[in-house]
Structure 1
Amino acid sequence: MSRASLATSLRSLADDLENVDQCAQALSPDVAINTWALTKRAVPCLIGRPIGHPSVTRGKPVASSELFYLDPERGIARTMSRWYRLGTRVDVEYWTDRIGGNP
């Protein structure tokens, strides 16, 4: 998906969530889902040690919220919750070795 398409999709999602009370009354979706259950799935994210995070102690390893934009050349990334300035990159095995299993 292109960056422009992703931005359009996220704006549409944000608009729908902001107006859910009006949308829910007017909606009769064409698509239904039957015998459904709530589950989880893996999404791209960053793992690392944030610096200057408002609620995470400096140096404590964390996994970010879902990653939507990554530009290593510019040294920036955007997750669902915030922008990050990218520091030193490591291979994912660095974290696998330290926390065990899949990061």
Structure 2
Amino acid sequence: MYHFGNANGDLDHDGISLDIERLEGLVADLMAVKFPFDCRRLYNERTLSDAPLLEDWRQAVRPVPRLVGFSTGHPLLPGCERPIVTSDIWLFSEELRLARSMSRWYRLGNPFRDMSKDN
């Protein structure tokens, strides 16, 4: 997750550039597998020679930054103050009250306030 829009301007430009390059590669591969004919072109000598071998592999889940809260105006999850969990958060600015998930921008209202700590 990249923090942006803050006063000290500590945005990681090199990291963003690397992620853009990786995401563009992923988009190209997703476009290729979308159509069976293009999918076959992924399975070629270059792809096979560049791909590392993974032994004793298994699927795993890793935690990624996400936001939870009550959404109003979500295009796919209708309702007012509906509890949701966002997809992976890539950009976050508390100062600008904005967050960008993998799928969309969110306007940030008031943050969660833990009432149990108000003693």
> TM-score, normalised to structure 1's length?
0.74
- Out of 33, 44, 57, which is 1:25 matched to? 44
**1:51 partnered with 2:72:** yes
**1:75 & 1:30 partners in 2: Cα distance?**
40
Q: Indicate the SS of the match to 1:12.
A: helix
Q: What is the identity, as a one-letter code, of the residue corresponding to 1:23? A: L
Q: Indicate the SS of the match to 1:61.
A: strand
Q: Indicate the SS of the match to 2:100.
A: strand
Max Rg structure: 2
Which fold has the larger relative contact order, with Cα–Cα distance below 8 Å and residues 6 or more apart in sequence?
2
Q: What is the identity, as a one-letter code, of the residue corresponding to 1:41? A: R
**1:71 partnered with 2:93:** yes
Residue 48 of structure 1: how far off its partner (Å): 0.7
Q: What is the identity, as a one-letter code, of the residue corresponding to 1:34? A: E
User: Is the contact between residue 99 and residue 107 of structure 2 (CA under 8 Å) also seen in structure 1?
Assistant: yes
RMSD: 2.2
> TM-score, normalised to structure 2's length?
0.66
Q: Indicate the SS of the match to 1:48.
A: strand
The 4+ residue runs of structure 1 with deviation greater than 6 A are: none
Q: Decide which moves more: 30-39 or 41-50.
A: 30-39
Runs of 5+ in structure 2 lacking a partner?
Answer: 1-11, 34-38
**1:80 partnered with 2:102:** yes
**2:104 & 2:29 partners in 1: Cα distance?**
21
State percent identity of aligned pairs: 29
Q: Decide which moves more: 1-10 or 61-70.
A: 1-10
| Count of aligned pairs between the two proteins | 94
Q: What is the identity, as a one-letter code, of the residue corresponding to 2:19? A: L
